[in-house]
């Protein structure tokens, strides 16, 4: 699934596609505004991408200091809240297709 297809699915479908990775499912949940589910899933992804997703969630929630912590854990530069859509796109583009 391409990043564009993932985004469109999150905006129109009632549930994420069944064959998504945990990372893609988390992105889907973020775009669908299902923060709590996304946060719970991101916390269980023990990789830099999981930390990057966790950073994005805190950024969107307005918890900037916590977001910066998770950006550092993900080895990614922190971004301002106004760049959260671009961060979502960057994470989606980094995932294997």
CA 17 to chain CA centroid, Å, is 16
Report the alpha-carbon angle 79-96-62, nearest 5: 25
Residue 73, domain extent: 3-10+22-94
| Token representation of residue 7 | 């985004």
- Number of independent structural domains in the chain: 1
Mean per-residue pLDDT, 54-75: 96
Neighbours of 37 (CB within 10 A): 15
Inside any domain, residue 87: yes
Residue 73 in domain: yes
Residue carrying the six token digits 């929630």 = 61
Q: What is the pLDDT of residue 97?
A: 73
**Residue 17 falls inside a structural domain:** no
In a domain, 36, yes or no: yes
Average pLDDT of the residues in 72-80: 96
Assigned domain for 69 exists: yes
Asked if residue 15 is part of any domain, the answer here is no
């Amino acid at each position: 699934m391409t990043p564009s297809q993932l985004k469109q699915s999150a905006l129109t479908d009632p549930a994420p596609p069944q064959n998504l990775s945990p990372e893609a499912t988390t992105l889907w949940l973020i775009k669908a505004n299902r923060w709590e589910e996304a946060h719970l899933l991101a916390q269980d992804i023990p990789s830099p991408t999981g930390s990057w997703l966790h950073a994005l969630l805190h950024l969107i929630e307005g918890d900037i200091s916590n977001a910066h912590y998770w950006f550092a854990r993900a080895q990614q530069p922190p971004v301002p809240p106004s760049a959260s859509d671009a961060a979502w796109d960057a994470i989606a583009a980094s995932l294997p297709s």
